[in-house]
C-alpha cells in the first residue's frame, strides 16, 4: 500500500512539575493537573507511538518501520539507523521548574546505557511573564568547583538564566547543563533517548515523600564545564518560505510561518518529514492522503511522499527531517 501522512496518539506523562497547559492551551485529552509531557512521536521501548488516522490506525511506529523501511524513513536514514527511529518529539509544560540536568554524548550513552546520546532543541510556544530557562554556566567552571557547589548547595549561583518568550529557540547539545523553568510551554525535538543525568532537583519530594534520584557521579564526566553562548538560535522569520533554524548531525529543523497556501517539492529529500503545529491550523496533503494539524498536533510524512500542499491562512509549523 502507499503510505500517507500519519498522526499518532499522544503518549501523556504525569510529572511532579507538570501543569495544565497541555490541556488548556494545546487541547490534549487530559483529566489531571500534573501532565508535563505529551510524547507526540516516539519509538522509545515501552512508549512506542500508535497511528491515530487512516487505514493503518492502531499500528505502532515500530511495526511500520519493520514493514515499510525505506518507504517510510528514506534510504539514507535506514543506512544510518537501521530499524531504529532516530527522533523523539514532545510538547512539554513546566508548571514548576524542572530538575537541573544534562545528557551524555553518543559515545558515553552507548557505553553506559546502549543508547543514543541526547542532543535536543526547544521552541518556546508560551511563557508566563518572567519565565526563564537555565542553559549552561555563567562562567568557566572547574570540576572541583562544581562538586563543591553541590556539597554547599550553591549550584544555582553558577548557572546561566535566560528569560524567554514565544518563538525563542534553543539548541541544547550534549553535556550542557540545563533546565526548563516554571511557566514555560515548549516543543522539543531530540534524539531518540531517555537518558538524563539529574544533578539537582531543588530538594523536592515526590508524592510518596521521597527525594528523586540524582546522578551526580555519572554526570561528572559528561558535563561541559566551559561557559558558551552557542545555545540561542537566531533564525529568519520570512513569511511563506522554509526558514532554517537548526542543522545538526541528528536533525534539521525549519520554521514555516504561513499566511497562505504553500507547496513543496520534497522528491529529493530521502528522509521522512515531521511537522509540528505550534500556531494556527493547516491541512497537509501529499496526494495520497491528507491530515489536519491544529496547534499542538504532529504529523509524520513518509519519505515516499514527493510533493506537499499545505492549505492554511494562518499557521506556524516546525518541519523536521534527518
Q: Report whether pLDDT(158) > 90.
A: yes
Q: Report whether pLDDT(146) > 90.
A: yes
Q: Report whether pLDDT(194) > 90.
A: no
Domains and CATH numbers, the chain: 11-220 (2.60.120.10), 243-321 (2.60.120.10)
pLDDT tens string 245-272 = 999 999 999 999 999 999 999 999 999 9
Based on the residue annotation, tell me whether 204 is a catalytic residue of this protein. no
Distance, CA of 20 to CA of 27 (rounded, Å): 10
- Which segments within 147-205 are labelled E, that is strand? 159-163, 169-172, 178-180, 184-191, 197-200
Q: What is the pLDDT at residue 207?
A: 78
Q: What is the pLDDT at residue 187?
A: 98
Give the model's confidence band at 191: pLDDT under 50 very low, under 70 low, under 90 confident, else very high.
very high
Q: Report whether pLDDT(7) > 90.
A: yes
> Over pLDDT 90: what percentage of the chain?
93
Averaged pLDDT, 3-25: 97
pLDDT tens string 126-139 = 999 999 999 999 99
Residue 170, beta-bridge partner list: 122, 232
> Over pLDDT 70: what percentage of the chain?
100
b/e burial code for range 72-110 (CB count within 10 A of at least 16 → b): bbbeebbeebeeebbbbbbbbbbbbbbbbbbbbbbebbe
Q: What is the pLDDT at residue 144?
A: 97
pTM confidence score: 0.96
Q: Report whether pLDDT(279) > 90.
A: yes
Of all helices (H) and strands (E), which one includes residue 244?
A: strand 243-247
Pairwise pLDDT comparison (106 vs 181), residue with the higher score:
181
Half-sphere exposure of 200 (CA within 13 A, CB side): 22
Give the model's confidence band at 212: pLDDT under 50 very low, under 70 low, under 90 confident, else very high.
confident
Q: What is the pLDDT at residue 287?
A: 97
Q: Report whether pLDDT(203) > 90.
A: no
Which of 198, 205, 212, 316 is the catalytic position?
198
What is the greatest pairwise CA distance in the chain?
Answer: 61
Mean model confidence pLDDT for the chain: 96
Q: Report whether pLDDT(168) > 90.
A: yes
Distance, CA of 100 to CA of 202 (rounded, Å): 9
**Other beta carbons less than 10 A from residue 70's beta carbon:** 15
Averaged pLDDT, 141-169: 97
Amino acid at each position: 500500500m502507499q503510505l500517507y501522512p500519519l498522526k499518532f496518539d499522544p503518549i501523556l506523562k504525569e510529572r511532579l512539575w507538570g501543569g495544565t497547559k497541555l490541556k488548556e492551551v494545546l487541547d490534549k485529552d487530559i483529566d489531571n493537573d500534573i501532565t508535563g509531557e505529551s510524547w507526540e512521536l516516539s519509538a522509545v521501548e515501552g512508549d512506542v507511538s500508535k497511528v491515530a488516522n487512516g487505514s493503518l490506525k492502531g499500528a505502532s511506529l515500530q511495526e511500520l518501520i519493520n514493514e515499510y523501511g525505506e518507504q517510510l524513513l528514506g534510504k539514507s536514514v535506514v543506512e544510518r539507523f537501521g530499524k531504529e527511529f532516530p527522533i523523539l518529539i514532545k510538547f512539554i509544560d513546566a508548571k514548576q521548574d524542572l530538575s537541573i540536568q544534562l545528557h551524555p554524548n553518543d559515545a558515553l550513552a552507548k557505553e553506559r546505557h546502549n543508547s543514543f546520546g541526547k542532543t535536543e532543541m526547544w521552541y518556546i510556544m508560551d511563557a508566563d511573564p518572567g519565565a526563564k530557562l537555565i542553559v549552561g554556566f555563567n562562567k568557566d567552571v572547574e570540576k572541583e568547583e562544581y562538586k563543591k557547589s553541590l556539597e554547599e548547595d550553591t549550584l544555582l549561583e553558577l548557572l546561566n538564566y535566560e528569560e524567554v518568550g514565544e518563538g525563542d529557540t534553543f539548541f541544547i547539545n550534549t553535556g550542557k547543563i540545563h533546565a526548563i523553568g516554571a511557566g514555560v510551554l515548549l516543543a522539543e525535538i531530540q534524539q531518540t533517548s531517555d537518558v538524563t543525568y539529574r544533578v539537582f532537583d531543588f530538594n523536592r519530594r515526590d508524592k510518596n515523600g521521597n527525594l528523586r534520584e540524582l546522578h551526580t557521579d555519572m554526570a561528572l564526566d559528561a558535563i561541559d564545564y566551559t561557559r558558551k553562548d552557542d545555545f540561542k538560535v537566531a533564525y529568519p522569520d520570512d513569511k511563506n518560505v522554509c526558514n532554517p533554524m537548526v542543522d545538526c548531525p541528528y536533525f534539521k529543523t525549519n520554521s514555516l510561518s504561513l499566511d497562505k497556501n504553500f507547496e513543496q517539492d520534497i522528491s529529493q529529500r530521502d528522509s521522512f518529514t515531521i511537522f509540528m503545529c505550534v500556531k494556527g491550523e493547516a491541512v497537509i496533503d501529499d496526494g495520497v492522503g491528507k491530515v489536519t494539524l491544529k496547534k499542538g498536533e504532529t504529523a509524520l510524512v513518509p519519505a515516499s511522499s514527493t510533493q506537499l500542499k499545505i492549505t492554511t491562512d494562518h499557521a506556524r509549523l516546525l518541519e523536521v527531517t534527518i
